[in-house]
Amino acid sequence: MIVLKKMFVSHTDPVTYHADWIDESVNSLIGQNIHIKWSGRYVCKSCDKTPNKLFGEGLCYSCFSTLPIASPCIIHPEKCRAHLGEGRDMEWERKHHLQPHIVYLAVSDVVKVGVTRDTQIPIRWIDQGAIKAIKLAETKNRYEAGCIEVALKSNYTDKTNWRKMVKNEVDESIDLIDEKWSLHEELPFDMQEFFSEDDSVLEFNYPVYKYPEKIIYISLDKQNEIKGRLTGIKGQYLLFENGSVFNVRRHTGYEVSIT
């Protein structure tokens, strides 16, 4: 038995995926039949307790309620208060939120705006299944990046349409450099100093030989096993020949066997 957590990624062509449960890359399983079966147990990724329910990404309620990795500003960076000396764990905040952050534009179905710590590039973009991405602004901390993201939400979504992403329904004609510079004057004056001059566009090719036309989302809470031939990997999703898609990251903390 192993406890699931998100796959590790490398920006190669195509993207390379690794996981604790396989010595070779997960890419090596593409074209093969695999069987994932849930034991019925959850394991908190922080304290290793076995709760009856998980919260956030693989946390028991106690850890979800107290740890900085589950604070509200993880989802809403504009709510970060680390720059004011406030947070669930200021040592953690200094290492993670009082660090340079990037506001970016990425294309996974349409253009979306997002925020990530600069050390998480390009991991964040690959995890979202983006086909290309560009830096829009570079800030000193998470709060500043969050404020810029909020200012742009009327222009772009901040969420990935995962259904279109796994079906590869993407507008590949989008010019991210044009999109980026069209926003320069739309930023509030006090935020324009953060606008990035870096116009490099990173592109991503995923190890998929067949995208599903119709999708069946698999949740182990509703169906305790999944079997089938793996046809590809995109974002944090395993894609199967019958159209089933399995979000590995969403199942962080599930104890499973994989054969």
Q: C-alpha angle with apex 195: 191 to 201, nearest 5 degrees? A: 145
pLDDT in tens, 178-203: 999 999 988 989 999 999 999 999 99
Question: In 3D, which of 38, 34, 32 has the Cα closest to residue 227?
Answer: 34
Q: Would you state the structure tokens that stand for residue 239, as one six-digit string? A: 């894609």
158: Cβ contacts below 8 Å, ≥ 6 apart = 112, 113, 114, 149
> Do strands 216-217 and 244-247 pair parallel, antiparallel, or not at all (unpaired)?
parallel
- For residue 172, pLDDT over 90 is answered with no
d(CA 254, CA 42): 5
Amino acid at 248: V
pLDDT in tens, 53-108: 999 999 999 999 999 999 999 999 999 999 999 999 999 999 999 999 999 999 99
Mean per-residue pLDDT over the chain, rounded = 96
User: Can you tell me the mean pLDDT for 146-151?
Assistant: 96
Longest dimension (CA), the chain: 56
Count of residues making up the chain:
259
- For residue 157, pLDDT over 90 is answered with no
| Range list of H helices, 97-219 | 123-127, 142-152, 162-166, 176-181
User: Can you tell me the mean pLDDT for 209-238?
Assistant: 96
Please compute Rg for the chain using Cα positions: 19
